[in-house]
Chain A
Amino acid sequence: KAGVTQTPRYLIKTRGQQVTLSCSPISGHRSVSWYQQTPGQGLQFLFEYFSETQRNKGNFPGRFSGRQFSNSRSEMNVSTLELGDSALYLCASSFGQQNTGELFFGEGSRLTVL
């Protein structure tokens, strides 16, 4: 079956702009999580959505937001972009059981902020 699909794969923005990234989970998965990967900070958890509700949130400013649709697809938005937002944004989907279960990752959306 199809894996986790993230679009776009690459994008370039300038400071102050906003960006929306999309994630389509594996069919049947109801949980979608987002992570930011940078060389300096490694992989950091942004937030998780389950059945259209944000279930958990990491330590990021309010400029980072997300949502999940009824078909489990998710989007994340970053407003007022800063240079430090340049990163690989990874989406992961799962059935949603807490404490157990595997997360399946997409290939990521690489954002460059100039």
Chain B
Amino acid sequence: GNSVTQMEGPVTLSEEAFLTINCTYTATGYPSLFWYVQYPGEGLQLLLKATKADDKGSNKGFEATYRKETTSFHLEKGSVQVSDSAVYFCAPRQTGANNLFFGTGTRLTVIP
């Protein structure tokens, strides 16, 4: 079946530190891959996406590359800011459908 394994949190980093949040998945076919972010008190927002192997999604300094051979979609940012404090969700789309299946989320706290 479909499943997502996401790096356990919480993660606490100092401002300007490098961020990696690991995500691997199990799915049939080659699903589109998404990272969503949930800021405190808000709904989920799309952070970035990749729809085929070797695609790199990027937004707001965050990047993730669709690695078909390792079924991974790790999220990275070179220099985090306090405003990046949020919960991050890795979410492949179910192949042949319109719904996403989510990881457990990783809470990131960035301290000044």
Contact = CB atoms under 8 A, between A and B. Distances in A.
A98 B49 contact: no
Interface in A7-56: 31, 33, 35, 42-45, 48, 50, 55-56
B62 interface: no
B51 A43 contact: no
B24 to A, nearest CB: 16
A105 B45 contact: yes
B46 A98 contact: no
Nearest to B45: A105
| A interface majority secondary structure | strand
A48 B104 contact: no
A43 B102 CA distance: 6
| B interface majority secondary structure | loop
Interface in B61-112: 89, 91, 93-105
Contacts of B96: 98-99
A85 interface: no
A72 interface: no
Contacts of B98: 31, 33, 48, 50, 55-56, 94, 96-98, 101, 103
Interface string A53-72: 00110100000000000000
Interface of B: 31-32, 34, 36, 41-46, 49, 51, 89, 91, 93-105
